[in-house]
Amino acid sequence: MNKPTISAVDLFCGVGGLTHGLAKAGIDVRAGVDIEGDCRFAYESNNSAKFIEGDVASFSSSDLVGYFTPQSFRLLAGCAPCQPFSSYSNRYRKSTANVKHATRSRLDAESENWKLLRSFLRLVLEVKPELVTMENVVPLQAHSEFTDFVNGLTAAGYCVTHHIVRCADYGVPQKRRRLVLFASKYGPVAMTKSELSRRSTVEEWIGKLPKIEAGEIYRKDPLHRSGGLTEKNLKRIRASLPGGTWRDWDEDLLSDCHKESKGKSFSPVYGRMDWEKAPTITTQFFTYGTGRFGHPVQDRAISLREGALLQTFPRNYKFVKKSEEITFAKLGRWIGNAVPVNLGQAIGQSLVEHLRDSKRLS
């Protein structure tokens, strides 16, 4: 008989950041589920797993159980879409509290995401895997729906643990904190200890890429492309210091929002990152004005390839077919929404170590 392994299904898989990381930890990811069918090429081209297009809310256990390897430890993994719970979105919600339409739109988005979280729990209860993991934004833990999720797992016999993780401790060159939840039939799962002697840097990940200008595409790598800048934004980034803010600018470069009291709290926008650590990579990382996404030394926003590398995707990770049009909005969403690969690997290692410690894996 073959030795037991961990086989997994990745819900909300996107282009495969979590799947790729789990696989690097030795977990056999058999399938990924996502509602966005355009993710299929990236997911299947880079991972030995089948992409299943569909709404997780419409799936039942019978749709998933056949993908797990017989006599393996089964892992149901995923990261329900999380933007409405992020720190940025919480600030946005406060700033639009008096705008009826904006508030309603945000509440609708939250309602949809609660539905996905409940669907995740429902599938766990139906499939009854031995292991569960979920990665998400830190503010999620403050919501009652997260408590309901944990209580539902506990009532079903799982030992649930959750950790606030600094991604930089696991080789992700970002100032990024994430919530990682584990549930196991065999006891508590600890987050693996970082074995890094030092943290990786932005310079190590993107410092050797060919130089490009704002709006330019590097011909040997179509993803190494940067968005264009207006003449005023070009002046702004030239006046920006690595790790600095728009407060470094002369008065004539400021916009009206910078002068308003509410705008003064958004100091990272229109900023350059420094060579040590990037900010959290969001779905808008390719836009200079939405965060500290200016290149450390070049007068442009970081490219799509640089964003992917800062999410610790391998340089050769394929996101689109050669003949397919590359759009900033689509690729930015895919890359920004992904679980950083190195964090996914740490999550996988935590589960492998858990089973070894409980004498269930040799």
On whether both 346 and 285 belong to a single domain, the answer is: no
pLDDT at 76 over 70: yes
**Predicted local confidence at residue 246, as pLDDT:** 82
On whether both 173 and 66 belong to a single domain, the answer is: yes
On whether both 351 and 210 belong to a single domain, the answer is: no
Q: For the chain, how many structural domains are there in total?
A: 2
Average pLDDT over residues 284-293: 93
Could you confirm whether 82 is annotated as catalytic?
yes
On whether both 259 and 126 belong to a single domain, the answer is: no
Using pLDDT thresholds of 50, 70 and 90, give the confidence band for residue 173: very high
Distance CA 57, CA 55 (A): 5
Burial 342-352 (b: 16+ CB within 10 A, else e): bbbbbbbbbbb
Distance CA 44, CA 35 (A): 15
**Predicted local confidence at residue 189, as pLDDT:** 98
pLDDT at 27 over 80: yes
Map tokens 């990940």 to a residue.
205
Q: Give Cα 360 distance to the centre of its chain.
A: 30
**Predicted local confidence at residue 89, as pLDDT:** 44
**Predicted local confidence at residue 91, as pLDDT:** 44
What CATH number is attached to the domain comprising 321? 3.90.120.10
**Predicted local confidence at residue 85, as pLDDT:** 53
The catalytically annotated residue of 39, 79, 82, 167 is 82
Distance CA 359, CA 355 (A): 6
Q: Kindly report the length of the chain.
A: 362
pLDDT at 84 over 60: no
On whether both 42 and 143 belong to a single domain, the answer is: yes
pLDDT at 92 over 50: no
pLDDT tens digits along 190-227: 999 998 888 999 999 999 999 999 999 999 999 999 99
**Residue 362 domain flag:** no
On whether both 28 and 163 belong to a single domain, the answer is: yes
Is 33 within 8 Å of 56 (Cβ atoms)? Answer: yes
On whether both 30 and 113 belong to a single domain, the answer is: yes
On whether both 23 and 52 belong to a single domain, the answer is: yes
On whether both 113 and 216 belong to a single domain, the answer is: no
On whether both 25 and 171 belong to a single domain, the answer is: yes
Q: Which domain holds residue 318?
A: 202-337
pLDDT at 107 over 50: no
pLDDT tens digits along 39-69: 999 999 999 999 999 999 999 999 999 999 9
On whether both 146 and 206 belong to a single domain, the answer is: no
On whether both 94 and 206 belong to a single domain, the answer is: no
